[in-house]
Amino acid sequence: MKKILLSVALLAIKLTSSAQLVETNYRGAFEPGSTTLWTQGWASWTAQNNDYKPTTDNLPLVINTNTTLSKDKVYSMVGYTYVKSGTILTIEAGTVIRSTGENALIIERGAKIYANGTKDLPIVFTSNSAPGSRKAGDWGGVIICGAARHNLSTGADAKVEGNITAFYGNSDDNDSSGVFRYVRIEFPGQPQKDIPNSELNGLTLAGVGSRTKLEYIQVINSGDDSFEWFGGTVNAKYLVALGGIDDDFDTDNGYRGTVQFAVSQRNPGSADQAGSSNGFESDNDASGSFNTPITQPLFSNITIVGPKNFGTIVPDAKFGDAALIRRNSACSIINSILIGYTESGLSLDGKRTIGNLLSGKLIFQNNYLSNNTLETGATTFRVRGTSDTIVNGSSITSSTALETFALNSVNNNVIDTDVKGHLVNPQTFIAANVDFRPTDGSQLLAVEEDKLSSNEMVIFPNPASNNFEIALYNSLTNSIVTIQNAVGAVVATQHAESNTSRFDISNLTNGLYIVSVRNGNNVINKTLVINK
């Protein structure tokens, strides 16, 4: 008997960043039984009532010399403040910046921000309104621009949305925009006047490179997305999205970073009336093109708490999916919890997105989905826009087929109807006693199964074209080898007569397959990609 960890070593995931994931034996953002949550000390669940001192100084509209903001002052923005290229803005731990109106902090490409707060002295960007009067969209947000690649057709220079006169992108995926650590961003997020479909988010990351440090960041009551990435390769850990109006984690235009340990919680009465509010939303670009680099982030150990988890409160009708992956995105989600959305737990939109799933670019494994129900009574999974044939000859044409794929044993996803008993206290909105840790004995923890370690089998080559070989490190003669396609159908069966066996796959089409070796109660599963 071996403990099957919720491993991050997934063969089909080709990471483009240098981020190293922490291997865990639990799903979601928080370790069970931990006496110290990573949100303790710096995050806030009651920002509406936080007491801040009055402002003492205004930030200039242009910062073009190296500048340090002191924790002994309280600053206000009076418009769009630009930190110009070549300039360093340092913000001391414990500094508070209060603003109301059309304003934002913009770190231009080539500039750097060192906002290095601490657990006990976080840096706070917040509303300048009085306690009890603060609301989403009181001010604009924080925008960080970098020189990493994106997939827009504008060339190296892509313009930030809206009325912001700043550009991002180039060819340096290892670019650094500085450090953003132990920071709260409260009541940001504004639509841009007279510019349709253009908004400021809580934290906008535009072409930000992988040497930038992002961790311990909370966005509270954003009037648009809490976090949005446009291209870039920056990695992040320990993020909190609380009570946002639009999407919690939005990825576009070739973002390829890794995010681990993040949590979002919704206010059931607040959703985006101009669209739909989702936990994850991911597009390759606005048209779903094949532009490269493709949007291919990896999210691991994320807890998404939707609006259906608050007793008798009826969620706003504009809430959507826990994860909406569309427009040729290859966004991968592993080791995560997705609960309480009104339309679905996972929605794949479009044949190109489904093609990414079948080819192994998009991975959905080791996740827990609960209390996600379509109003029509369909399953937790939804497929949209699949009327055209998938290029590689395979297709998932219904939610039933998607559910079959997602529930394939090698993907190790769990579907449940009621999250109660699995998380300590996820059903309290904006309260200090909210607790997203798994309970003892929960399905969110690693389980004991009668499986061999996947390290005892190697498939090569992988991807394969017309044939492949299996090498077994233990003698498993007379084992049965089966190959299943993306929807769980067995397409080939063969006996393994020795430690090395060769298999003819010339009759199989391109796509993602599961190879299983069974000998008595011993089972090994591996992912195989066929690409001819």
Q: At residue 373, what is the residue type?
A: T
Per-residue tokens: 91: 């913000």
Evaluate if residue 369 carries a pLDDT over 70. Answer: yes
The stretch 434-446 carries a mean pLDDT of 83
**Band (481; pLDDT cuts 50, 70, 90):** confident
Residue 8 has pLDDT above 60, yes or no: no
- What pLDDT is recorded for position 376? 54
CA distances in angstroms from 452 to 149, 455, 457, 517, listed in the order given: 41, 8, 9, 10
Query: Half-sphere exposure of residue 267, counting CA atoms within 13 Å on the CB side?
Result: 20
Looking at per-residue pLDDT, the higher value among 431 and 154 belongs to 154
343 pLDDT above the threshold of 80: yes
SS3 388: coil
Residue 325: partners with Cβ closer than 8 Å, 6 or more residues away: 280, 282, 331, 346, 347, 348, 349, 353, 362
Report d(CA 239, CA 258) in Å as an integer: 12
Contact 451, 524 (CB under 8 A): yes
Q: Collapsing DSSP states into helix, strand and coil, what is residue 2?
A: strand
Residue 330 has pLDDT above 80, yes or no: yes
pLDDT tier at 498 (50, 70, 90 boundaries)?
low
Mean pLDDT of the chain, nearest integer: 86
Question: Residues with Cβ < 8 Å from 72, sequence gap 6 or more?
Answer: none
Q: How far apart are CA 114 and CA 34, in angstroms?
A: 30
Average pLDDT over residues 49-64: 98
Q: What mean pLDDT is predicted for residues 345-372?
A: 90
pLDDT, average across residues 469-491: 76
- pLDDT for residue 427 is more than 70: no
Which of 9-13, 103-107, 374-378, 387-391 shows the highest mean pLDDT? Answer: 103-107
Q: Is the pLDDT of residue 423 over 50?
A: yes
- pLDDT over 90 at 292, yes or no: yes
d(CA 353, CA 463): 19
Give, in degrees to the nearest 5, the angle at Cα 333 between 332 and 338. Answer: 145
| H-run or E-run covering 404 | helix 399-406
Read off the pLDDT band of 513 (50, 70, 90): confident
Answer yes or no: is pLDDT of 439 > 80. yes
Distance CA 99, CA 80 (A): 11
E strands present in 138-257? 141-145, 158-159, 167-168, 178-186, 190-191, 199-200, 203-206, 213-220, 227-230, 236-242, 249-252
The confidence band for 175, taking pLDDT boundaries of 50, 70 and 90, is: very high
pLDDT-derived band of residue 479, with 50, 70 and 90 as boundaries? Answer: confident
pLDDT at 79: 95
Q: What is the pLDDT of residue 124?
A: 99
pLDDT digits over 65-86, tens only? 999 999 999 999 999 999 999 9
Residue range 411-420: mean pLDDT, rounded: 80
Q: Is the pLDDT of residue 252 over 50?
A: yes
Reply yes or no on whether the pLDDT at 13 is more than 90.
Answer: no
Which two three-digit tokens encode residue 292?
A: 């490269």
Query: If you search the block for the tokens 């150990």, which residue do you land on?
Result: 301
Q: Does the pLDDT at position 244 exceed 90?
A: yes
**482: which strand partners?**
493, 516
| Angle 339-342-347 from CA coordinates, rounded to 5° | 80
> If we measure between CA atoms, which residue out of 29, 39, 26, 5 comes closest to residue 304?
29
Question: Does residue 371 surpass a pLDDT of 90?
Answer: no
Q: Is the pLDDT of residue 17 over 80?
A: no
The Cα 207–Cα 223 span in angstroms is 22
Which pLDDT score is estimated for 359?
81
Q: 40-54, 93-107, 415-429: which range is least confident on average?
A: 415-429
Reported as a single tens digit per residue, the pLDDT across 378-387 is 568 888 876 6
Q: State pLDDT tens for residues 180-231.
A: 999 999 999 998 777 777 789 999 999 999 999 999 999 999 999 999 999 9
* Candidate from 27-41, 45-59, 93-107, 209-223 with smallest mean pLDDT: 27-41
Q: What is the mean pLDDT of residues 283-291?
A: 96
User: For tokens 């550009």, what's the residue?
Assistant: 167
- Does position 320 have pLDDT exceeding 60, yes or no? yes
Instruction: Indicate if the pLDDT at residue 304 is higher than 90.
Output: yes
CA distances from 45 to 54, 352, 426, 433 (A): 21, 39, 13, 9
Domains and CATH numbers, the chain: 452-530 (2.60.40.3080)
User: What confidence score (pLDDT) does residue 18 get?
Assistant: 43
**pLDDT of amino acid 71:** 98
**Which pLDDT value is given to residue 428?**
61
Residue with tokens 């313009």: 159
Instruction: Identify the residue with better confidence: 125 or 1.
Output: 125
Identity of the residue numbered 326: R
Is the pLDDT at 388 greater than 80? The verdict is: no
pLDDT class of 390 with cuts at 50, 70, 90: low
- Residue-level pLDDT at 457: 75
**357 or 106, higher pLDDT:** 106
pLDDT attached to residue 109: 99
Predicted confidence band of residue 408 (pLDDT cuts 50, 70, 90): confident
pLDDT of residue 328: 96
% of the chain at pLDDT higher than 70: 87
